[in-house]
Structure 1
Amino acid sequence: MVATLSQDQDRVLLQIGQVAFQSQVPIKTIRYYEELGLLKSSGRTEGKFRLFTPDTIKRITFIKRLQKLGLSLQEIAEILGVHDRGVAPCAEIKQQLEQQILEIDRRIAELMTLRGEINELLEDWTPPVNTTTGEICPILQKM
């Protein structure tokens, strides 16, 4: 069933299942996004199904894109809040993405340090001849 919203023009409203199908996002996720305020339904059917405007598909696509770029749902909510006030959130998005780059660089440095530690350990790896009671792997317990 497709409902319409009467305002300046008739707009087709989609049931939550249709939104899930078109956006390829589970219904449970759509409900969660609505609970967090990322999405807003436009009402319900007589059968209590949530109804959404077609723009909801674009909004979900936008949310998923920002998630893939590493932004949290809280950060995305802040960005969408700016948009919902009628302001283009491009400056906020740029700032968040710059922070993501700094975090990625920090994690890369941590991983490179860990890689070096593991390489050192493996270079000196000599299987033990015998172990003493209570030792799991003497090579690692020397550390």
Structure 2
Amino acid sequence: MLAQEERKQIGAIAKESGIPIKTIRYYEELGLLESSGRTEGGFRLFTTDVLNRLSFIKRSQGLGLSLSEIKEFLSIHDQGELPCDHVKVKFQDKIAEVNRQIQQLLTLQSNLESLLVGEQIISEFSEIICPIIEVGKVKKSTQQDIIPSSRRSSSKWGKTNVKTIETIQS
């Protein structure tokens, strides 16, 4: 006869794993975990191998995987296979997505920096609510249109700043 596997109440599992009881219940509801029964008082019981699953879930989430993706990998594992090939494909997709997001953020950063440079140039227009945001409203402005004559002679307001405003409009 096989020795019975050690079973622990949900509270003990929560304490050992550092994952709240409510989250463990949610994972069970989603099918990520399976309890091995209940106590007479109705508390869920889990085998100690659930700690490995919880660790896997926590680590996977930290790597940007969704619970549905994690469930897919656990399902493959539960069928006796290693999900590593599936994980590699998913990570390649995640890397491509991260690269797209990085490019979007770099573009946003560049736009914000350009707006800050252009903000000083058109700050004297009273019809503009916020020059930083509305700098794109200035249509094909020239240095004379944007910069008051008292500032035109200053090298600080060279053509580079005017080009920045025209570039932002594009």
Interval containing the TM-score (normalised by the shorter chain):
0.7 to 0.9
CA–CA distance in 2 between the matches of 1:9 and 1:136?
76
Alignment gaps of 5+ in structure 1: 1-6
Deviations 1:9-50 (A, max 9, x none): 122101000110000001111011000000000000000000
Structure (1 or 2) with the larger CA radius of gyration: 2
C-alpha deviation, 1:119, in angstroms: 1.1
Q: TM-score, normalised by structure 2?
A: 0.75
The amino acid of 1:122's aligned partner reads L
The amino acid of 2:9's aligned partner reads Q
Q: Percent of pairs identical after alignment?
A: 49
Q: Does 1:60 align with 2:54?
A: yes
Q: Does 1:116 align with 2:96?
A: no
The 8 Å contact of residues 77 and 83 in structure 2, kept in 1 or not, is answered as yes
The 8 Å contact of residues 33 and 50 in structure 2, kept in 1 or not, is answered as yes
Call closer, same or farther: CA 1:122–1:109 in 2, change over 3 Å. same
C-alpha deviation, 1:130, in angstroms: 6.3
Paired position in structure 1 for 2:3? 9
Deviations 1:99-137 (A, max 9, x none): 1111111100111111111111111121734634xx542
Q: 1:84 aligns with which of 73, 78, 83?
A: 78
The 8 Å contact of residues 119 and 135 in structure 2, kept in 1 or not, is answered as no
The amino acid of 2:107's aligned partner reads T
Equivalences for 1:66-105 in 2 at 5 Å? 66-105=60-99
The amino acid of 2:133's aligned partner reads L
Q: Which moved more, 1:118-127 or 1:74-83?
A: 118-127
Paired position in structure 1 for 2:165? none
The structure where helix makes up a greater share of residues is 2
SS class of match (2:119): coil
The amino acid of 1:128's aligned partner reads S
The amino acid of 1:141's aligned partner reads E
Paired position in structure 2 for 1:4? none
The 8 Å contact of residues 131 and 138 in structure 1, kept in 2 or not, is answered as no
CA–CA distance in 1 between the matches of 2:125 and 2:118?
17
Deviations 1:79-112 (A, max 9, x none): 0000011111111111111111111111001111
